[in-house]
C-alpha cells in the first residue's frame, strides 16, 4: 500500500443531525470525542422508546434536516417532512411533494426552561443499550412527526429523541477512491452509480496517492489545520485549532441501508449489497457482512473544515499483531 506516513485531504464533511434522516455537507465543524458537532444528536423512537432507522422505515431518508442560528446565536434544527402524495408498493417509488412540506424548528442548545416546557426525560433503547434522553412533547413538534409517519403507516406513532446515537462509534471516514472502485463494478452490473450519501459517512477524503480500500489498514489519523489557523482560531472562538488525532477502530460492517436510494426512499433488493458481498466480506469478526468505510474515535476536540489535510500516521502492519482490523462487537 506504499510508504507511511502519507497525507490525504478532506474533500467533504457530512452531518446527519437525526439518525437515518437526510444529512448535509458543511464546510467546517467541531470534531469532538463523540463525533462531529450535532451529528446523530437526535433520533426517532417508537411507542416503546426503541430507536427506528432506515432499515425498517426507508421513508426516513426523505426527511430533510438543516441547522441555523437564532437571534441569540444558538443553533436550531430545522426538520422538513414532505407531503406524502402516494405510497408505492414494495420496490416501487412513492410520491412526495416538498412544496407542501411541513417544517418544524427545535433548539439544539435548549436551556432548562425550554426543556421543562417542551420535553421530558425518558429512558430510551438503541441496540441492547439503554440511556436517558429528552423526548419532545410539544404538540407542534410531535404532531408533525406523527402526521408524516402515519402517511406511510396508519398504525404508527413516533416521537423524536435528542441523543448522540451513531450505530457503533462516533465518526465514519470514507474515501472517494473506494467509492469510485465500487461504482466501476456497479456500472458493469446495473449500468448506474451511487453517491457517497448511501453510506452516510462524516468525513470523506481523497488524494492522488490513495488506493482503493487502503483504509482497511489505517490505525491512526491526524487532522492538520492550516498554519494560518493555528492559534488565531483558538483566540477568537476558544475552539482548539491544533492537530486532532483520530484512532481508526474498526471497519464499518454494512447492513442493507445503502440499498435505499436517498432521493426516492426506494430500496433496491440487490445493489449495492450483492456487489459488496461478492468481494468486501473482508473482516473475520463479522464475516457475513461486507465492509465500507472506517469507524473512528477522535482523541481530542477541535476545528475541522473541507480542504484540511488528514495524515495517515500509522497502519495496522506497523502496530504489531496480525496487521488486520478484527470486528469484535457492534450491531
Instruction: Measure CA 101 to chain center.
Output: 24
SS3 162: strand
Q: What mean pLDDT is predicted for residues 319-323?
A: 50
* CB-based contact 54:61 (threshold 8 Å): yes
How do strand 291-298 and strand 309-315 relate by DSSP bridges?
A: unpaired
**Does position 159 have pLDDT exceeding 80, yes or no?**
no
pLDDT greater at residue 261 or residue 89: 261
DSSP 120: E
**Range scoring the smallest mean pLDDT among 152-156, 201-205, 306-310:** 152-156
CA 82 – CA 66 distance, rounded (Å): 14
pLDDT given at position 11:
97
Look at residue 161 in the predicted model and tell me its pLDDT: 30
Q: Is the predicted pLDDT of residue 307 greater than 80, yes or no?
A: yes
pLDDT for 292 beyond 70: yes
Classify residue 200 by its DSSP letter.
-
**Chain CA centroid to CA 186, Å:** 23
Between 230 and 168, name the one with better pLDDT: 168
What does the pLDDT read at residue 127? Answer: 78
pLDDT at residue 293 greater than cutoff 80? yes
What one-character DSSP code corresponds to residue 73? S
Chain centre to alpha carbon of residue 179: 16
> Is the per-residue pLDDT at 169 higher than 90?
no
The percent of residues above 70 in pLDDT, for the chain, comes to: 86
Q: Would you call 150 helix, strand, or coil by DSSP?
A: helix
Considering only CA atoms, which of 78, 73, 26, 25 is closest in space to residue 303?
A: 26
240 vs 81 pLDDT, higher one: 81
* Overall residue count recorded for the chain in this entry: 331
Q: Measured between alpha carbons, how far is 279 from 275 in angstroms, rounded to an integer?
A: 7
Q: Which CATH architecture has domain 6-15+169-319?
A: Beta Barrel (2.40)
Pairing of strands 171-175, 203-206: parallel
Q: What is the mean pLDDT of residues 96-100?
A: 92
For residues 94 and 86, is the Cβ–Cβ distance under 8 A?
A: yes
Q: Strand 6-15 relative to strand 203-206: parallel, antiparallel, unpaired?
A: antiparallel
- What is the residue extent of each domain of the chain? 6-15+169-319, 42-162
* Pairwise CA distance, residues 296 & 195, whole Å: 21
User: Dihedrals φ, ψ of 330, to 5°?
Assistant: -160, -105
Decide: 133 and 116 in contact? Cβ < 8 Å.
Answer: no
pLDDT band at 60 (very low <50, low <70, confident <90, very high): very high
Q: Which residues contact 328 (CB under 8 A, 6 or more apart)?
A: 250, 285
pLDDT digits (tens, 9 = 90+) for 26-49: 999 999 999 999 999 999 988 888
Q: Indicate the pLDDT class of residue 202, thresholds 50, 70 and 90.
A: very high
Asked whether 156 and 36 are in contact (CB, 8 A), the reply is no
Inform me whether the pLDDT recorded for 88 exceeds 90: no
Q: How far apart are CA 145 and CA 140, in angstroms?
A: 9
Identify the top-confidence range among 87-91, 160-164, 264-268. 264-268
Amino acid at each position: 500500500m506504499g510508504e507511511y506516513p502519507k497525507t490525504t485531504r478532506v474533500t467533504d464533511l457530512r452531518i446527519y443531525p437525526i439518525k437515518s434522516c437526510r444529512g448535509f455537507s458543511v464546510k467546517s465543524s467541531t470534531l469532538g470525542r463523540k463525533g462531529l458537532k450535532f451529528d446523530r444528536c437526535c433520533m426517532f423512537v417508537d411507542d416503546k422508546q426503541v430507536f427506528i432507522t432506515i432499515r425498517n422505515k426507508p421513508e426516513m431518508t426523505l426527511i430533510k434536516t438543516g441547522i441555523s442560528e437564532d437571534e441569540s446565536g444558538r443553533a436550531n434544527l430545522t426538520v422538513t417532512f414532505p407531503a406524502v402524495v402516494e405510497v408505492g408498493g414494495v420496490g416501487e417509488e412513492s410520491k412526495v411533494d416538498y412544496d407542501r412540506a411541513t417544517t418544524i424548528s427545535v433548539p439544539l442548545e435548549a436551556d432548562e426552561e425550554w426543556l421543562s416546557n417542551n420535553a421530558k426525560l425518558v429512558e430510551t433503547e438503541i441496540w441492547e443499550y439503554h440511556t436517558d434522553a429528552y423526548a419532545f412533547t410539544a404538540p407542534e413538534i410531535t404532531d408533525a412527526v406523527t402526521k408524516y409517519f402515519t402517511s406511510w403507516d396508519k398504525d404508527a406513532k413516533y416521537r423524536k429523541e435528542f441523543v448522540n446515537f451513531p450505530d457503533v462509534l462516533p465518526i465514519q471516514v470514507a474515501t472517494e477512491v473506494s467509492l469510485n472502485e465500487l461504482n466501476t463494478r456497479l456500472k458493469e452490473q446495473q449500468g448506474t452509480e451511487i453517491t457517497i450519501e448511501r453510506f452516510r459517512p462524516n468525513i470523506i477524503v481523497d488524494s492522488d496517492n490513495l488506493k482503493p480500500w487502503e483504509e482497511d489498514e489505517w490505525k491512526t489519523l491526524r487532522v492538520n489545520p492550516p498554519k494560518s489557523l493555528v492559534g488565531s482560531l483558538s483566540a477568537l472562538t476558544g475552539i482548539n485549532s491544533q492537530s486532532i488525532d483520530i484512532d481508526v477502530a474498526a471497519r464499518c460492517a454494512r447492513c442493507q441501508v445503502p440499498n435505499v436510494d436517498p432521493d426516492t426512499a426506494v430500496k433496491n433488493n440487490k445493489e449495492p449489497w450483492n456487489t459488496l458481498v461478492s468481494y468486501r466480506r473482508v473482516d473475520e469478526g463479522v464475516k457475513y457482512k461486507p465492509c465500507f468505510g472506517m469507524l473512528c474515535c477522535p482523541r481530542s476536540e477541535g476545528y475541522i473544515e473541507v480542504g484540511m489535510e488528514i495524515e495517515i500516521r500509522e497502519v495496522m502492519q506497523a502496530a504489531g499483531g496480525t496487521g488486520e482490523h478484527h470486528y469484535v462487537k457492534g450491531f
